[in-house]
Amino acid sequence: MILFPAIDLKDGQCVRLKLGDMQQATVYNPDPAAQARAFEDQGFEWLHVVDLNGAFAGETVNGAAVDAILKATKNPVQLGGGIRTLDHIENWLTRGLARVILGTVAVRDPALVVEACRRFPGHIAVGIDAKGGKVAVEGWAQASELGVIELAKKFEGAGVAAIVYTDIDRDGILTGINWASTLELANAVSIPVIASGGLASLDDIRRMVEPDACKLEGAISGRALYDGRIDPKEALSLIKAARTKETAK
């Protein structure tokens, strides 16, 4: 079980959006590399990074900021946003990413995802962003007709390392993770699921370590960490205790 602190990049800065709206961005740190170091110092073991501009543009926009993050932290980093080709994927993995997250291309070209998993085993995650139960693409700007589980099942057996599932209707507004739909997805597929969107307090962390959520790989936290609503030490202690309990079984 992993708690992934999030660094969302807009115009080279670390921001958080409200409901995925680029016009509702709050700048939390103008230096993403410094933020990455801070998260490592707090004891986090992974880092979740999104190139927001890239998600809309369909190509990497905040590459310099991502490179700076990779130099600043020893923690493994997963990146999503604008990664649409096998060359993009190979380039980023060569530059030091542990995992790339494929979102829009997973809807537009599922065969590319399968091929990426074959070429780069263990390094490919799929991002499924849902609005009203349907998958959204192009930086959440467009809705598709695909259901969440319908899309996820296309990648069963392909070697996808994880599915990052985001409920857009809860993202950035601190209303709590949509546990019902997240666990429904986790129980429908064998691929590990990472919960995202709306993590609000330690209550979400406590819910994450309940026995019925043990199948999850973890959850992503953004605004709650930046606003001080979650104490990193306490959150990580809860997760460590759950890991110890699970290992002892």
Structure-token pair, residue 214: 């043990």
Domain ranges of the chain: 2-248
The residues pairing with 194 across neighbouring beta strands, listed in sequence order, are 164, 218
Residue type, 23: Q
Which residues are annotated as catalytic? 8, 129
Is 116 strand, coil or helix? helix
**Topology of domain 2-248, per CATH?**
TIM Barrel (3.20.20)
The residues pairing with 50 across neighbouring beta strands, listed in sequence order, are 8, 80
**pTM over 0.95, yes/no:** no
Residue pLDDT, tens place only, 36-59: 999 999 999 999 999 999 988 888
- Is residue 125 left, alpha or beta, with left meaning phi > 0 and alpha meaning psi from -120 to 50? beta
Residue pLDDT, tens place only, 53-97: 998 888 899 999 999 999 999 999 999 998 999 999 999 999 999
More confident residue, 43 or 134: 43
Structure-token pair, residue 226: 């930046």
